[in-house]
Amino acid sequence: MGVMRIGHVNIKVMDMEAAVRHYVRVLGMKEVMRDADGNVYLKCWDEWDKYSLILTESDQAGLLHVAYKVENDADLDVFRQRIDAYGVVTEMLPAGALPAVARQLVFALPSGHEMRLYAQKEQVGTDVGSLNPDPWPDDVQGAAVHWLDHCLLMCELNPEAGVNRVADNTAFMRQCLDFHLGEQVMAGPGHAIQAATFLFRSSTPHDIAFVGGPSNGLHHIAFFLDDWADVLKSADVVAKNRARLEVAPTRHGLTRGTTVYFFDPSGNRNETFAGLGYLAQPDRPVTTWTDDEIGRAIFFHSGELHEGFSTVYT
């Protein structure tokens, strides 16, 4: 029983065709379908479920919902009981409320972000198949990302007002959904304020992360690549396509991952993230960073924060 991994994200974009071009040409995703409302569904080449990204046209960018896949349909009922008991309102959407997806459990995190859980989505297979497969497909474009890896959500943090949605979300995820805390950033006097958390259910350092800021929002969605060379190539692809590069290839101290950050045409931040960093396991001691070392925690090479990285989000 339990949450297995991130399933998909539904983000808002202001120019649909520009967004589709970006996620196809830069990331290397494939468009799999469009629905009657004009939403576009895409998948990465190494994913077997039908889609992992939903684009919805809007007058602003940002997150509509993030969904995680659970192991069994019965898990949804168990989680609903837990979440209801926690005092959070839930709704069960019927099969078909999203294309190719069975019933979904919908609720809001303490930060207000919409999260969904589901157990079944139509499987279409990876682009190399499951019988004697090649290591990669020949027709993949751009950075050729393998799969949607994680998302990072900005959460309101105002210690003077007694508001810490990072801590609230973290407690909820651990108590209700059995997520494990891999790393955290502690800030303020005595390093007593939980300012950022990185949580996992799989073996990657984080399947979701929460970082404190002045308001709630979406910081980035991240896609997995094999190694450092692939991260360098993804930066080349960003430049070739004239996408907006934010952070050149570097390494995180947090999670140890190698990374590059850039934006889609609507301003949603993307990351290509390579390497597992370390084997995340429930009994691994929590790694703690303090705010006086936050530069090295985020950008280990330079030890300096990039302007706008913690303040610009959708």
Q: 205-230 pLDDT, tens per residue? A: 999 999 999 999 999 999 999 999 99
The predicted structure's pLDDT at residue 295: 85
Q: Measured at the alpha carbon of residue 206, what is the angle toward residues 202 and 209, in degrees to the nearest 5?
A: 135
| pLDDT tens digit sequence for 267-294 | 999 999 997 778 999 999 999 999 999 8
pLDDT of residue 1: 77
Whole-angstrom distance, CA of residue 266 vs CA of residue 61: 6
Domain 3-118 identical in fold to domain 147-298: yes
At which residue do the structure tokens 């303040």 appear?
311
Quote the pLDDT of residue 58: 98
Q: What is the per-residue pLDDT for 303?
A: 77
Looking at domain 147-298, its CATH class is: alpha beta
Closest to 220 in 3D by CA, of 4, 58, 52, 63:
63
Give the pLDDT of residue 224: 97
pLDDT at 263: 98
From the CB of residue 89, how many other CB atoms can be counted at a distance below 10 Å? Answer: 9
Q: How confident is the model at residue 301 (pLDDT cuts 50, 70, 90)?
A: confident
Nearest to 7 by CA among 202, 180, 167: 202
pLDDT confidence tier of residue 149, bands split at 50, 70 and 90: very high
Q: Percent of the chain scored above 70 by pLDDT?
A: 100
Average pLDDT over residues 102-118: 98
CB 104 within 8 A of CB 54: no
- What is 3-118's CATH number? 3.10.180.10
Q: What is the mean pLDDT of the chain?
A: 96
Domain spans in the chain, listed from the N-terminal domain onward: 3-118, 147-298
For 69-82, write each residue's pLDDT tens digit: 999 999 999 999 99
- If you average pLDDT over residues 143-152, what whole number do you get? 98
pLDDT tens profile 172-189: 999 999 999 999 999 999
Residues carrying an active site annotation: 150, 206, 220, 252, 261, 271
Q: How far apart are CA 278 and CA 205, in angstroms?
A: 7
What is the model's pLDDT at position 129? 96
pLDDT per residue over 225-269, tens digit each? 999 999 999 999 999 999 999 999 999 989 998 999 999 999 999
The region of weakest confidence among 8-12, 43-47, 295-299 is 295-299
Q: How buried is 168 (Cβ within 10 angstroms: 0-12 exposed, 13-18 middle, 19+ buried)? A: middle
How large is the average pLDDT for residues 11-39?
98
Q: What is the pLDDT of residue 275?
A: 78
